[in-house]
């Protein structure tokens, strides 16, 4: 199973049927793929499709893994340019706790 598939499954499990986010979030890993979290509908849908999003987070898979394990602080990743956020930053902040572990 690829890193993208593993991460997609973990995010789907963390988001569940109703994350309460109420928005569409795209996590863009560049050439490694994308994860689209449609939390605007219930049940929430997590896929590897590309599409329009309220918030897009650009990050490498390695940096996302480091954030999930706690070895990279999300704010530091943002300030160091390892993570870029387009759109509603408050949605990205609400998503961060779901990505832990």
Closest to 11 measured CA to CA, from 31, 30, 38: 38
Residue-wise pLDDT for 28-61, tens only, equals 999 999 999 999 999 999 999 999 999 999 999 9
Q: Flag whether the pTM goes above 0.75.
A: yes
Q: What is the pLDDT of residue 98?
A: 74
- The domains of the chain are located at 3-90
Residue 97: pLDDT band (50, 70, 90) is: confident
Cα separation, 54 vs 61, in Å, equals 21
Rounded to whole angstroms, what are the CA distances from 85 to 13, 28, 36? 23, 10, 14
**3-90 maps to which CATH number?**
3.30.1050.10
């Amino acid at each position: 199973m690829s890193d993208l598939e593993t991460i997609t499954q973990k995010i789907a499990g963390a988001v569940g049927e109703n994350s309460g986010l109420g928005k569409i979030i795209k996590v863009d890993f560049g050439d490694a793929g994308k994860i689209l979290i449609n939390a605007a509908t219930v049940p929430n849908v997590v896929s590897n499709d590309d599409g329009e999003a309220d918030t897009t987070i650009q990050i490498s898979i390695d940096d996302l893994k480091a954030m999930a394990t706690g070895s990279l602080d999300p704010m530091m990743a943002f300030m160091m340019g390892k993570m870029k956020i387009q759109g509603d930053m408050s949605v990205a902040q609400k998503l961060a706790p779901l990505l832990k572990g």
